[in-house]
């Protein structure tokens, strides 16, 4: 496609492009929102998102538990805190620190909360990030915890991608857009500066400058008592970065580890998560050495985890004296405890660790104690939150409510063989009494990229909108993801990207062969990289599906590296401005549209404020499908960022549009 007839739709806020969006939005709303089913779907999802009985997940700082909370009365949210004692009660008393809705009303803004970072060890000042409409770009403002107000004349970082963190009370480390030459080709910060209170940001001292072709540059101060250090991280590309130690003399010293590995420093230790084979160690391994030895060039590496064909490292968390490993074994979480000592690392089981579902583990406060949070869930079980001191069984503190009756459903894990013989797992959630007559409306979800694993999780919205209305739900653990570590991810990189789509097609065929559904009753759904997946399912395997849902997607793979953050993903997909285009074009849905093909109906959902994946992808794809005479539905939320929605009301509407479309195309919902 030499001349792009739809290029004008890349003008995000252009009058002509927005007029096109407004027209499609109106057409979609007129068709999908008028039916009683849509009202039921939207209100049901909204009730889930705003439910007061949800678990208020917290972070610990200075004897308080902090939480950010949204509901129907507070759509943009409350930043609040309570004591550990109060948190254990059924109805904790919360101290409100910042009301974002009230702030928006006072300032005439549409701020969305992006997080907070405390000044340590005093904890009396906070850097708060706020985004307009949910975009990745945000502002940073200094907040006084004593007065509960913004610091007069305090630090303010103007709106940009990037961030700021505390070096000390009067100094920040800032990585942000300061004009020409200060951002990378991906649109992220290229420089790190030391900003002193009371001086102009533009005059902040330069600490480090990367290259235009880098992904980004950032810096942070480790304030762990006794181990205070400052680091600069230069991200060369998505899976390659350099870590530097910034000395008191201002000199930078590169940490001598592979650029492809993930280096993490905690107290006296450096942990290294390998993405590639190195020094006799297998990709996916977790290694440990004393940090000072690494700096001195004399590390003695010990293997804390080595992957197998069926296991990978899902993550880990440090407590004051232990390291808790979270391992996936065929996409099922398993926990263990490692403790460093004079004789090496001792290994033990995690007592009382759940045997079912997805398990997340995180430290409560690694500076102070050995307590961890445990979250447990699966497709049919609402999340529970427990606390445990390493070595003791967990104590459940909170449980989320059930939003649908799951007693008549079962969860299964199946494996299919892809085109090249690879064994691929997927999860299936179905009625226990399914007839296996090939008629069940079935929704297949996938992602398959960036080494992200899809593990079982409870969704009240999916339960109410799909499962209880007679739908079957499947989640594919295809290559490109992280279910089996780096090797699973690398298997679908660049020229091997189609392996992910072959895996997804194999799962779709298996659902039909098992007599669960038929192509006319099977839909596929994905967002972002998963939107690229769903787009490829549409144009490469149209015969397998009766409907396709594509959300905040990449679709024009010739232009993706020139749109917003797209250049940062070339390690994943390749560079379309080189000979890589020869293989990229084979999975660029925008360039594979065939006017004569029998495509199933498709809905595209995106956001004008998405400053990560350009809305032009979805716009142009919809326009091209329309021009080719295909059945396409389009809706673009004006706010929302890459998440597609800026608050619960918008999220409920976007989800309800997708489910209403699916029931319209796959068959009528059967009711509650």
Angle made by CA atoms 482, 472, 310, in degrees to the nearest 5: 25
Task: Verify whether residue 642 is a known catalytic residue.
Answer: yes
Q: Across 392-546, where does the E strand assignment appear? A: 395-399, 409-417, 423-431, 442-445, 472-476, 522-527
Closest CA to 337 of 312, 386, 304: 304
Tokens encoding 81: 């805190």
- Torsion 44-46-52-56 (CA) sign: positive
Question: Do 494 and 574 form a contact (C-beta atoms < 8 A)?
Answer: yes
Question: Do 385 and 56 form a contact (C-beta atoms < 8 A)?
Answer: no
Burial class (CB within 10 angstroms; exposed 0-12, middle 13-18, buried 19+) of 407:
exposed
Within the chain, how many helices (H) and strands (E) appear?
Answer: 14, 37
Q: Across 355-476, where does the E strand assignment appear? A: 358-363, 371-378, 381-389, 395-399, 409-417, 423-431, 442-445, 472-476
Task: Verify whether residue 528 is a known catalytic residue.
Answer: yes
Q: How far is CA 187 from CA 14, 160, 177, 178, 181, in A?
A: 21, 9, 9, 12, 11
**Given 60, 409, 617, 642, which residue is catalytic?**
642
- What residues have CB less than 8 Å from 332, skipping those under 6 apart? none
Tokens encoding 254: 């590169």
Burial class (CB within 10 angstroms; exposed 0-12, middle 13-18, buried 19+) of 594:
exposed
Per DSSP, what are the bridge partners of residue 99?
A: 78
**Given 312, 528, 568, 588, which residue is catalytic?**
528
How far is 448 from 532, CA to CA, in rounded Å?
10
User: Could you give the residue numbers annotated as active site?
Assistant: 528, 642
């Amino acid at each position: 496609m030499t001349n792009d007839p739809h290029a004008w739709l890349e003008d995000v806020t252009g009058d002509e492009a927005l007029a096109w969006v407004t027209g499609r939005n109106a057409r979609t709303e007129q068709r999908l929102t008028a039916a009683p089913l849509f009202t039921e779907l939207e209100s049901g999802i909204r009730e889930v998102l705003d439910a007061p009985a949800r678990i208020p997940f917290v972070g610990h700082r200075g004897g308080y538990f902090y939480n950010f909370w949204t509901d129907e009365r507070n759509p943009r949210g409350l930043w609040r805190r309570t004591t550990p004692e109060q948190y254990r009660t059924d109805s904790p008393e919360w101290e409100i620190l910042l009301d974002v809705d009230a702030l928006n009303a006072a300032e005439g803004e549409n701020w969305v909360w992006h997080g907070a970072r405390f000044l340590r060890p005093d904890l009396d000042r906070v850097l708060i990030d706020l985004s307009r409409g949910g975009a990745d770009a945000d502002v940073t403002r200094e907040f006084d915890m004593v007065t509960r107000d913004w610091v007069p004349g305090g630090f303010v970082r103007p709106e940009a991608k990037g961030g700021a963190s505390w070096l000390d009370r009067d100094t920040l480390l800032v990585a942000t857009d300061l004009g020409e030459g200060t951002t990378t080709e991906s649109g992220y910060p290229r420089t790190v500066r030391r900003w002193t209170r009371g001086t102009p940001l533009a005059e902040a001292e330069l600490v480090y400058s990367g290259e235009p072709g880098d992904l980004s540059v950032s810096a942070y101060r480790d304030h762990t008592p006794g181990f205070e250090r400052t680091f600069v991280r230069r991200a060369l590309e998505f899976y390659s970065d350099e870590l530097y130690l910034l000395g008191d003399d201002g000199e930078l010293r590169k940490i001598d580890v592979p650029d492809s590995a993930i280096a993490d420093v905690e107290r006296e230790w450096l942990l290294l998560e390998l993405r590639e084979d190195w020094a006799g160690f297998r990709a996916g391994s977790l290694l440990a050495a004393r940090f000072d030895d690494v700096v001195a060039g004399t590390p003695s590496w010990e293997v804390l985890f080595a992957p197998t064909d069926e296991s990978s490292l899902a993550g880990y968390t440090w407590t004051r004296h232990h390291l808790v490993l979270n391992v996936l074994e065929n996409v099922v979480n398993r926990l263990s405890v490692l403790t460093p000592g004079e004789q090496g690392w001792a290994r033990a089981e995690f007592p009382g660790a759940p045997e079912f579902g997805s398990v997340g583990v995180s430290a409560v406060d690694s500076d102070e104690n050995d307590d961890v949070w445990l979250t447990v869930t699966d497709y049919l079980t609402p999340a529970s939150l427990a606390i445990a001191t390493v070595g003791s069984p967990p104590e459940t503190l909170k449980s989320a409510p059930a939003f649908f009756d799951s007693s008549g459903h079962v969860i299964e894990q199946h494996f299919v063989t892809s085109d090249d013989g690879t064994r691929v797992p997927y999860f299936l959630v179905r009625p226990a009494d399914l007839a296996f007559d090939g008629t069940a409306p079935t929704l297949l979800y996938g992602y398959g990229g960036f080494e992200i694993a899809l593990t079982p999780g409870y969704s009240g919205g999916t339960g109410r909108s799909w499962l209880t209305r007679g739908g079957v739900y499947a989640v594919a653990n295809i290559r490109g993801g992280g279910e089996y570590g780096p090797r699973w991810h690398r298997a679908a990189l660049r020229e091997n990207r189609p392996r992910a789509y072959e895996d997804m097609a194999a799962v779709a065929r298996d659902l039909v062969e098992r007599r669960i559904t038929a192509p006319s009753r099977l839909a596929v759904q994905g967002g972002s990289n998963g939107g690229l997946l769903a787009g490829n399912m549409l144009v490469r395997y149209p015969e397998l599906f009766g409907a396709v849902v594509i959300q905040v997607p990449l679709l024009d793979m010739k232009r993706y590296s020139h749109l917003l953050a797209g250049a940062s993903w070339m390690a994943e997909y390749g560079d379309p401005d080189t000979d890589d285009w020869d293989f990229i074009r084979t999975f660029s849905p925008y360039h594979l549209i065939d006017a004569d093909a029998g495509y199933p109906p498709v809905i595209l959902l995106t956001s004008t404020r998405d400053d990560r994946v350009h809305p032009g992808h979805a716009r142009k794809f919809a326009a091209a499908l329309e021009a080719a005479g295909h059945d396409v539905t389009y809706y673009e939320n004006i706010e929302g960022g890459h998440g597609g929605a800026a608050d619960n009301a918008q999220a409920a509407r976007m989800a309800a549009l997708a489910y209403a479309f699916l029931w319209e195309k796959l068959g009528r919902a059967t009711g509650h």
